[in-house]
Amino acid sequence: MTDTSLPLPADARRHSATFPPEIIGQIQRTAVEGHYEIRGGGAKRSVPGFDDLVFLTASVSRYPLEGYRERCDTRTVLGARNGAAPIELDIPITIAGMSFGALSRNAKEALGLAATMAGTSTTTGDGGMIPEEREASKTLVYQLLPSRYGFNPRDLLKADAVEIVVGQGAKPGGGGILLGQKVSEQVAEMRTLPAGIDQRSASRHPDWTGPDDLRIKIAELREATNWEKPIYVKIGATRVENDVKLCVAAGADVVVLDGLQGGTAATQDVFIEHAGIPTMPAVRLAAGALRDIGMQDEVQLIVSGGIRTGADVAKAIALGADAVSIGTAALIAMGCNSRTYTLDGEVHDATEDYARLGTAPGYCHHMHTGSCPMGITTQDPDLERRLDPEVAARKVANYVLAMTMEVTALARACGKSDVHNLEPEDLVALTVEAAAMARVPLAGTSWIPGRET
């Protein structure tokens, strides 16, 4: 007999793990629009990452260096393998390639100025080198992308290093997208395209295919630059071990490895969330691949994809990176996802502007719309005015230098006089997954999953 005296629950809603509200929204949006979702930003899902690792800093068994007093070097040298003039940086954090087109002119200039202030390099992007960027940047890396938009051999000679982009973490195996609203007359002219088209960049290089060709392509770039400029190869993290070894065999001086969390200005959401492996295991695989072929001291590894803090940087270095690269975090430092912007000395609230894009400060991934309320990822002159390049540059430089201090704080506490001396033995993992991926012991145990004990 049913006991009717028990009250029914007031709220009968039951959350579905398979069909939560955001999935329902996604299905219904595509059902109406008839098209996959295109957005900016990086993977939003939770993946094993650097937060799952902690440092075993010094105590009795090891002794630390004195913070603020004893020297801890951060100088980073990249690309000397083939006799080119190496890239010498004061810090192990560089600014990743982001295009003029995806970013406003003010944002590109700000990144160049910031990199120069912080003693590091910045990188061009799809669409070529703009004069403001070259002028602002002491050390500028020139990307050679599949699209070759605006690629000019004379700009190649103005660069300090060349980066052949094979793929990126947000969309390994896919090309970039720049939606029509950002393909302004000027952007279109730089890319030799009609203004207003939904520009879809190539995913393969037009003039070579595969590792044997890449070797010849690298040689061509060396000839064209008289062997004076280091050549980087950038890949998205998928089959990391094989890809890194093939890059090295093809002659790369530096391998740039971009993990799953890496951002983009616009691509298919299905790529952003479902292609590639997270940055943390990618670093370990790449460093292991370099060691396998005895090239860990010859070829440098730059790692990117979701780097946010000095702790992330220190852990990436400990797992085998020589430097890290930041993209999204640099944009956030200059104001991306802020509630307010300052124009003509007055602070303005941008909440309404975000709302018009269907989002809010702190959640925005609408770089693809070209309507960035902060003036960063836009080609709209009125919006672009919201970003003062000098102020933005100072913020990015502050952020990068503060991260560097965090790295040295951790390195000193581990007893290292150079941040590059951090090593996997300085780390333990908080989860079984992270222990397996980083190949460091699960905290409190000597267990590295997958390794014979």
Q: Which C-beta is closer to another protein: that of 173 or that of 196?
A: 196
DSSP string, 295-327: -TTTSEEEEESS--SHHHHHHHHHTT-SEEEES
Q: Which of residues 131-170 bind another protein (CB under 8 A)?
A: 147-148, 151-154, 156
Q: Which is nearer to another protein, 55 or 227 (CB)?
A: 227
The answer to whether 363 and 36 are in contact (CB under 8 A) is: no
State the nearest-atom distance from the C-beta of 199 to another protein, in Å: 9
Q: Does 355 bind another protein (CB under 8 A)?
A: no
Q: Which is nearer to another protein, 37 or 90 (CB)?
A: 37
Beta bridge partners of 85: none
Q: How far apart are CA 342 and CA 153, in angstroms?
A: 39
Please state the closest distance from residue 68 (CB atom) to another protein, in A. Answer: 48
Q: Does 185 bind another protein (CB under 8 A)?
A: no
The closest of 272, 337, 269, 287 to 308, measured between CA atoms, is 337
Nearer Cβ to another protein (269/433):
269
Bin 254: left if φ > 0, else alpha if -120 < ψ < 50, else beta. Answer: beta
Rg of the chain taking only CA atoms, in angstroms: 23
d(CA 428, CA 52): 9
Residue 307's alpha-carbon distances to 62, 95, 366, in angstroms, are: 28, 11, 20
The residue among 216 and 293 lying less far from another protein, judged by its C-beta, is: 216
33 makes contact with another protein (CB under 8 A):
yes
- Nearer of residues 23 and 202 to another protein, judged by Cβ: 202
As measured in angstroms, the least distance from the Cβ of 409 to another protein is: 43
Using the contact rule CB under 8 A, the part of the chain among 108-116, 194-202, 288-296, 417-425 near another protein is: 194-202
Query: Which of 338, 280, 286 lies closest to 305 in space, CA to CA?
Result: 280
For the bound state, the minimum distance from the C-beta of residue 231 to another protein, rounded and expressed in Å, comes to: 13
The SS3 assignment for 373 reads coil
Min CB(26)–another protein separation in Å? 13
Q: Which is nearer to another protein, 3 or 22 (CB)?
A: 22
CA distance 254 to 329: 22
**Residue labelled with tokens 């940055």:** 279
- Are the C-beta atoms of residues 322 and 92 closer than 8 Å to each other? yes
- 293-352 residues in contact with another protein (CB under 8 A) are none
Among 17, 32, 60, 347, binds another protein (CB under 8 A): 32
HSE, side-chain direction, 13 A CA sphere, residue 223: 6
Q: Pick one of 24, 67, 68, 192: the residue that binds another protein (CB under 8 A).
A: 192
Among residues 193, 430, 432, 443, which is the contact residue for another protein, using CB under 8 A? Answer: 193
Element (H, E) at 89: strand 87-89
- Residue 83 binds to another protein (criterion: CB under 8 A): no
CB of 37 to another protein, least distance (A): 8
Which structure tokens are listed for 391? 């102020």
Please state the closest distance from residue 144 (CB atom) to another protein, in A: 9
Taking residues 361 to 380 in sequence order and writing x for each that binds another protein by CB under 8 A, - otherwise, the string is -------xx-----------
- On whether the CB atoms of residues 245 and 181 are closer than 8 A, the answer is no
What whole-number distance in Å separates Cα of residue 345 and Cα of residue 167? 41
* First-to-final CA distance of the chain: 60
Two tokens at 266? Answer: 């616009």
371 beta partners: 378
Give whichever of 40 and 92 is closer to another protein, judged by the CB atom: 40
Compute how many other C-beta atoms are within 10 angstroms of the C-beta atom of residue 375. Answer: 27
Q: Which stretch binds another protein (CB under 8 A): 73-81, 92-100, 158-166, 198-206?
A: 198-206
Min. distance of Cβ 123 from another protein in angstroms?
A: 19
Which segment (34-42, 69-77, 311-319, 390-398) binds another protein by CB under 8 A? 34-42
- What is the full DSSP assignment across 103-115? B-HHHHHHHHHHH
Contacts with another protein by CB under 8 A: the residue count is 40
Q: How far is the CB of 335 from another protein (least distance, A)?
A: 23
Site for another protein in 202-241 (CB under 8 A): 202, 206-208, 213, 216-217, 219-220, 222-227
**Residues of this chain that bind another protein (CB under 8 A):** 32-35, 37-39, 147-148, 151-154, 156, 179-180, 191-194, 196-198, 202, 206-208, 213, 216-217, 219-220, 222-227, 368-369
